[in-house]
Structure 1
Amino acid sequence: MQTMPAHAAHHDDHEIETLEEFDAVVSARGSLAGFRVQAVDLTDRTRELLTTGAAGAVFLGCPMREDAAAKVRAEGALVFPPLPDLPFDPYRGHVYTPDELFASLADGYEATPDARAYAWLQRTKADRDVYASTLRALHDDAVSDALDELLSGARVVGVMGGHAMRRGTTEYEGAARLGRELARTGLTVATGGGPGAMEAANLGAYLAPYGDEELGDALRLLAKAPGFTPSVTDWAAAAFEVRERLPRGGRSVGIPTWFYGHEPPNPFASHIAKYFSNATREDGLLARCTAGVVFLPGAAGTVQEVFDNATPNYYESRGEPTPMVLVNRAHWTERLPVWPLLQSLARERSMEARIALVDRIEEAPEALKRLLG
């Protein structure tokens, strides 16, 4: 069974991200000096704020009463106020959950925080508003920090592939079985977090505690809404129906972006690190795949990911090269001849022993295991 470290166990000792952590610090230290309090509602902690030193503290998006805010400011604390009119929290201390991003789905996808954040991005990008770009950068940095905390100590395997793979196909089932098998070996499955091959791999990890019968039931139910067009609402609702019927889902990570706003995140990743900046997201996704990456057939985005991953392997800029397994020989040698170029790059370098091409998706886990040694 796949494991993932608990979120709060690994963050910086001077970060406070929950009320429980706030109370523990106040009780144990009697001072908030030097601490960073991130997106914690402190409206019910006025007495503590008024009686506890806060010199050098930073409060990021923490609701508090004005007298408490004035007191900590007077002591030299920095207070970044909450921004309630935004459809997202730029100071958030945790990655997203599917329930959070898809809240209000019953009113249509357009009503969800995910769709509203994309609409906000489109408006502010068109305005070239420096304030908005600062908020996007703050948000993405907070998400990266939360993702690092979440994955600390985890062995992460990436599964990359195109969004065009549809539910109800043998390819989709194969990708789901791949995600399930990888999760069952104790690896944390990470994907680009979108539809298609990415969703299938997250689905497989979600169904790691379940058998073939439940997998078959889930695949049949999902096939009723095979793609996120024409209706994201129906596509997402089918996924939540599977989650409701099979609630003991395994954990995995999706790392999508609002840059591709037409692609919704898939609801099977238990943890979703969604970014405004696609460049930050791409680099962060691949850098965190410490146990290697499996590349399923895809188009331009997946080709980009292959070489985004190959570059640090080639230069060994992240240390020892990580495994790369390409699936589907015809796709990667004929339709998009990525494999010959990858082989040429790897020749006589240490990454040469860390790349593999397999024909069938069922061969990928064994190839990955072999490359990991």
Structure 2
Amino acid sequence: MQPNPEHASAPQLPGTDREIETLAEFDEVTARGGVAGYRVQAVDLTQRTSALLAADVAGAVFLGCPMGQEAADRVRAAGALVFPPVPGLPFNPYRGLLYAPDDLFAGLADGGYEATPDAHAYAWFQRTKSDGDVFASMLRAIHDDSISDALDEILVGARVVGVMGGHAMARGTDEYAGAARLGRELARAGFTVATGGGPGAMEAANLGAYAAPFDDEMLDEALELLAKAPSFTPSITEWAKAAFAVRERWPSGGASVGIPTWFYGHEPPNAFASHLAKYFANATREDGLLARSNAGVVFLPGAAGTVQEIFDNATPNYYESRGEPTPMVLVGRAHWTEHLPAWPLLKALAKERPMEARIALVDTVEEAPGALGALRSA
């Protein structure tokens, strides 16, 4: 089954002109004369000593770039700042690009989830999050700021719709299939789907965006395959392997964004978001996900985390003075009016505010895209 060109994913645009994040970019810039004033992030320059000895590097900043001692001495003497790599870390705090699923799940096939960089980073976080070591907290902050920078670069010009929902939504359920179809419809409409990057509803929406370039039958078949490992418990390894089996059968799926966190590291990231902005600080992650959902947010049924996200999103909408609050669609009338009655409070907040015309409650996930479109045109 081949991708359908009618359903191409939203374009991904390049980063800023003064940042170098790959070896190819470094070679291109140095061929034009030098890297003066550039920020070079996490590029292995051990094989570029001759270029560094000859290039104009005045005012350049090298962030976590391995390089030979001769090259390092020369660029410092020529007016560059060099922040060397930090040995012994399971992550690169100066990372210039977002993670891909293959980055976080490297080693899964042979060693299981426990052998992956994602698991190692979570273990490091567990050891250091409360030890009071200012160096560890500084490394986490640098990493998260680098991730935010990379995320902003990926989303330049994108129309982002956030899809929020519970992590407990199991593969093989009607709810999971509905969330996947929602992600597919949004991606086919030209939106960039952004989720919390974890399992459940988040994975389903990212899966839908991944399926967007293919014929409709692909998603149906993928859902059947994934249902064999319905949850990340008791085995993250089997859960993740099922996702990678789908990716292997249907490579080159559509793009989307996942924004998970090691704060909830017992919940693994999902393998269907092409770009994973994984943070140590959950507050930075939550605020960043909602703030970047510039085309609206769909809230699927969830528990405490989803309720928090509803009101985290409602607060700036409440105080929006330009009359342009972000559209919010809550899916599941009974869930949001009876089980967890967030909707009555949201309506009370919205009364006589600009956000009143930008919120909607619908019964089913199939109604969400139409409701979102109506709110956007209101």
Task: Please state which band the TM-score falls in when normalised by the shorter chain.
Answer: over 0.9
Output the amino acid matched with 1:307. F
The one-letter code matched in structure 1 to 2:81 is L
Q: Which residue of 1 aligns with 2:361?
A: 357
Identity %: 75
Tell me how far apart the structure 2 counterparts of residues 188 and 225 of structure 1 sit (CA, whole Å): 27
User: For 1:102 and 1:142, how far apart are their aligned partners in 2?
Assistant: 20
Letter in 2 for 1:3: S
Matches within 5 A, 1:63-212: 63-106=66-109, 107-212=111-216
SS, match of residue 223 in structure 2: helix
Is 2:328 aligned against 1:338? no
Distance 2:245 2:345 in 1: 43
Matches of 1:91 and 1:208, distance apart in 2 = 33
Tell me, yes or no, if structure 1 residue 3 matches structure 2 residue 6: no
How far 1:32 sits from its partner (Å)? 2.2
- Alignment equivalent of 1:291, drawn from 271, 289, 295: 295
Q: For residue 22 of structure 1, what is the amino acid of its counterpart?
A: F
TM-score by length of 2: 0.95
Which residue does the alignment assign to 2:45?
A: 42
* Change over 3 Å in CA distance of 1:48–1:248 after alignment to 2: closer
Q: What do the CA deviations read for 1:320-346 (whole angstroms, capped 9, x no partner)? A: 201000000000000111001101111
Contact 1:4/1:150, CA 8 A, preserved across alignment? no
Equivalent pair of 2:8/2:213 in contact (CA under 8 Å): no
Q: Deviation digits for residues 241-299 of structure 1, max 9, x if unmatched? A: 11111113111110000000110000011110000000000010001101000000000
CA distance in 2, matches of 1:318, 1:169: 41
- What's the CA shift for 1:318? 8.7
Paired residue type of 1:151 = L
Cα deviation 1:64-93 (Å, max 9, x = unaligned): 110010011112211111124211111111
| Structure 2 residue runs without a partner (length 5+) | 1-6
Match of 2:36 among 33, 38, 42: 33
Rounded to whole Å, the distance in 1 between the matches of 2:216 and 2:57 is: 55
Q: Matched residue of 2:278: which SS?
A: coil
Runs of 4+ in 1 over 4 A off after TM superposition: none
Q: CA RMSD in A?
A: 1.3
Indicate the SS of the match to 1:356: strand
| Mean CA deviation greater in 342-351 or 123-132 | 123-132
Q: Decide whether aligned partners of structure 1 residues 319 and 258 sit closer, same or farther in structure 2, where only a CA change above 3 A counts.
A: farther
CA separation in 1, counterparts of 2:234 and 2:245? 19
Q: Write the distance in 2 (CA, Å) between the matches of 1:59 and 1:98.
A: 26
Deviations 1:70-124 (A, max 9, x none): 0111122111111242111111110000011000012110100000000000111
Per-residue deviation, residues 204-260 of structure 1 (Å, max 9, x unmatched):
111112233221211111111110000000000001111111113111110000000
TM-score for both structures, normalised by structure 1: 0.97
SS at match of 2:40: strand
Contact 2:323–2:355 (Cα < 8 Å) also in 1: no
Q: Contact 1:326/1:358 (CA < 8 Å) preserved in 2?
A: yes
Q: Is the 8 A contact 1:95 1:143 kept in 2?
A: yes
Q: How many residues align?
A: 370
User: Is the CA contact (8 Å cut-off) linking 1:4 and 1:251 kept in structure 2?
Assistant: yes
In the alignment, residue 30 of structure 2 is paired with which amino acid? Answer: V
> Quick check: 199-208 or 72-81, which moved more?
72-81
